[in-house]
Structure 1
Amino acid sequence: MEINVTDRFTYLLDKLKYSSNAEQKQIIEEMNELIDDMGEVETEIVFTTELFDKIELMIEEKNLSLEDSILLLKRVGRCSMLKLVTNYSFVNCSLRKRFEKLIIDEDKKKEGEDQKLLIDLCECYLMLIVSFKNVSKEMISVLIPCIMKVALYKEENEETQKEVEMALLALSYVEKYDEIEKELFLKDIKEIITNHQKRNNLTRFAYQAAWQFLIYRLCRDESLEDIIVNELHFGREARRELEELSRSVDWKRNYEEKGEKEAKDALIIKRWLQTFESYLESCELWNEEYVEVFNSIVQVLSSAKVNNREISYGCIHLFMTAAENSFIKIEDLLKSGAADAVMEGIHQPTMDNDIICMYLEFFEIISLRLKEKKDDEIEEAKRKELKKKVFEKMEEVGDEDAIMSFYKILPFLASIKYFFVSSNIKYYFVNV
């Protein structure tokens, strides 16, 4: 009988206690391969507080070396990040306290004494901790500069690129609500991004991670927006990366249904969508570059809608977030083709409840914004003209009929608590 991934992982973890050092390295290698094969559900089931406590006890009883435990834990953290799984198990485990003490102690040693151990500990901690809510300022002041120093490595050989990628991935996992002093990161992250723009010295993963770390800081510090928009040109860079990544993805393959490992480029696209949506949630600066980003996302949605459900969801949810932001002109969103892409989607013969809810919510937001009267006469005239064009387009392609087809199930959809879908059908019509 074939043993499932989670049972095999648990068996190998127990086996570590009774193995020699050489055997342990082989076992950890196999465990790391199993981690790579885990899906989101398996990841949440396996990486529990009990697992971390068990590893801590094995280190304490000298059944597992700290170095070997780091090899395993780095893969655990990386796996959670890449699968976009938020796991809070590490927050309450005894292993966290051990790591915090080790990091502070290692930082107090003379530079060069064992910097690799400090770097490994900091990377593990950042990837596993999820939130800085209960992390001391002393810890943060060690973690960020330590990993930023690695991310600044400028050698362009493959080994260095891997180290830089791991460092930036660890930094990208710092939550957007976590407060970090600008002095700890701004000068360095600007240098990392501008260096890549001049020399193309980062992997695609590393470059996306650098932007994600910076964009996430915007949530707590609006003063970063001018740097992000006008100095580093986030819109231009996001558009270029999405277009190049989209060309390299094999959209005909259905990774989800076949259970195959997701293509790396498709995964980076998901992360760019997540990062751009985070920007839209906080932005007050807007320029023409972002209309081009929407154009690129429309193309991604068009390519992904058949075989990649998660990326399709990401695109539609991002358009909803954009429509809700009053700083984003509704005409820019419409000009990009975002509304057309959503309108096209609502005519699909088969849709699950989640995607129906997202489509309807998007129409409701667009409808409300087109009905908002302007005080300025010129702007009011533009609004009326735009509203007329949208109505005519919806009528021409039968969107209102498609929306009406959901009339009977609206009360049910409105009862799904994690969506804010109105049960009143008139809210979805621009002309009402």
Structure 2
Amino acid sequence: MIIDENEKKDEINEKFLVGLCECYLLLNEELSYEVLSICIHCLLKAASDKEKKKEIQKDVEIALLALSNIYEYYEVERELYLNEIKEIIKYHQKHHNLTRLAYQSAWQFLIIRLFSNRSLEGTIANELHFIRETRRELEELKCCVDWKKKEKQKRRGEKEGKEEYVLIRWLQSLDHYFRFCQSKTAEHSELIGIITQLFRAATDNHKYISARCLYLLRRAADDGALEVEDILKGGAIDATLEGISQPTFNNRIKYESLVFFTHFSRKLKEEGKDEVEEAKRKLIKRRVFEKMEEEGYEDIIASFHKKLHFLSSRFYYGLSLNISDYFVYA
């Protein structure tokens, strides 16, 4: 139907074609490359409508949401989307014409393309300022979510609110960023800071979000683009110690905390390129060691020794069974 409608040329019913394309992308996991190119062109055109009317905003939101559903393993040529999606993002940054979900969807569609096209890194990190925009959106969403509403108070089958849903999508997009972007920026520490704030806000009643935040902190600790100082200034050490010290045993929280410390200790063991950098590394290492000693970190880790095998087999990535990998000695 999409191919037939697209071939009508002058007689195309654009609204009907947009609806077909949205259904196709939202309801299918196996996509045809022939149909995919039609859908991207059609939906980007629909999403480029700059009107602020509520009904137009809703149409744009659905078009971008459908586009964000094109999984990373579908290789899409830059020429098919880059100029249009950049214009949509830049226009919103200046005029704020999109809904929260629409704006996040535009970013998600773009950042997922990094999987098959690493040349997009400069555009994402430096031209469109992904870190700055993500941090701002997360800070605003943090103020909108009802953090006090307990999970058990939700009606059975009730999904998270729209703000929570958009927040989770931003966290998923950050996962792609940490995996594929190596651009260094002074804004990284502020990003780590808002992730730690979200972890604390979600700890009591939003277990999925709190675990997701710790997952991103351990991603950051393993990321070559983030400096040790970024992680420290952002408060990741404090947050992860809080996670691992929680009296209620949450396996996912403990697992992510342990992986964070293996990555972070490995980062601190990397020798500096020159004497100045090496002296700075040793000073930071001493600060971290003293903080961990003060918090009783070594005793906490030792108490998990018999649990390491269980946690390692319970989750996707193997956890080191060597207890010394979790320590940072001065």
TM (norm. structure 2) is: 0.95
What does residue range 44-193 of structure 1 map to in structure 2 within 5 Å? 102-130=1-29, 132=31, 135-136=32-33, 138-193=34-89
234, 255, 265: which one pairs with 1:367? Answer: 265
**Which whole-Å CA distance do the structure 2 matches of 1:313 and 1:257 have between them?**
20
Residue in structure 2 matched with residue 30 of structure 1 by the alignment: none
Judge conservation of contact 2:145–2:163 (CA < 8 Å) in 1: yes
The residue identity in structure 2 corresponding to 1:315 is C
Q: What CA deviation, in whole Å up to 9, does each residue of 1:64-108 have, x standing for no partner?
A: xxxxxxxxxxxxxxxxxxxxxxxxxxxxxxxxxxxxxx1111110
115, 119, 133: which one pairs with 1:223? Answer: 119
Q: What CA deviation, in whole Å up to 9, does each residue of 1:8-44 have, x standing for no partner?
A: xxxxxxxxxxxxxxxxxxxxxxxxxxxxxxxxxxxxx
Q: Which runs of no fewer than 5 residues in structure 1 stay unpaired?
A: 1-101
Relative to structure 1, is the Cα distance of residues 361 and 184 closer, same or farther in structure 2, using a 3 angstrom cutoff? same
Q: What CA deviation, in whole Å up to 9, does each residue of 1:102-131 have, x standing for no partner?
A: 111111013453222211111111112235
**Which whole-Å CA distance do the structure 2 matches of 1:153 and 1:229 have between them?**
25
How far did residue 223 of structure 1 move? Answer: 1.9
158, 163, 166: which one pairs with 1:268? Answer: 166
Residue in structure 1 matched with residue 95 of structure 2 by the alignment: 199
Runs of 4+ in 1 over 6 A off after TM superposition: none
- Number of positions where the alignment pairs a residue of Structure 1 with one of Structure 2: 328
Judge conservation of contact 1:126–1:170 (CA < 8 Å) in 2: yes
301, 306, 326: which one pairs with 1:428? Answer: 326
Judge conservation of contact 2:64–2:102 (CA < 8 Å) in 1: yes
**Which whole-Å CA distance do the structure 1 matches of 2:49 and 2:103 have between them?**
14
Judge conservation of contact 2:147–2:205 (CA < 8 Å) in 1: yes
The residue identity in structure 2 corresponding to 1:355 is I
SS of equivalent to 2:50: coil
**Which whole-Å CA distance do the structure 2 matches of 1:417 and 1:231 have between them?**
37
The residue identity in structure 2 corresponding to 1:125 is Y
Relative to structure 1, is the Cα distance of residues 255 and 131 closer, same or farther in structure 2, using a 3 angstrom cutoff? farther
**Which whole-Å CA distance do the structure 2 matches of 1:220 and 1:322 have between them?**
21
How far did residue 257 of structure 1 move? Answer: 5.5
Relative to structure 1, is the Cα distance of residues 316 and 417 closer, same or farther in structure 2, using a 3 angstrom cutoff? closer
Which stretch has the larger CA shift, 324-333 or 242-251? 324-333
SS of equivalent to 1:415: helix
**Which whole-Å CA distance do the structure 1 matches of 2:10 and 2:170 have between them?**
36
Give the greater-gyration-radius structure (CA): 1
Q: Which runs of no fewer than 5 residues in structure 2 stay unpaired?
A: none
Relative to structure 1, is the Cα distance of residues 394 and 131 closer, same or farther in structure 2, using a 3 angstrom cutoff? farther
Higher relative contact order (CA 8 A, sep 6+): 2
**Which whole-Å CA distance do the structure 2 matches of 1:314 and 1:111 have between them?**
48
The residue identity in structure 2 corresponding to 1:220 is S
What does residue range 194-343 of structure 1 map to in structure 2 within 5 Å? 194-255=90-151, 258-259=154-155, 260-343=158-241
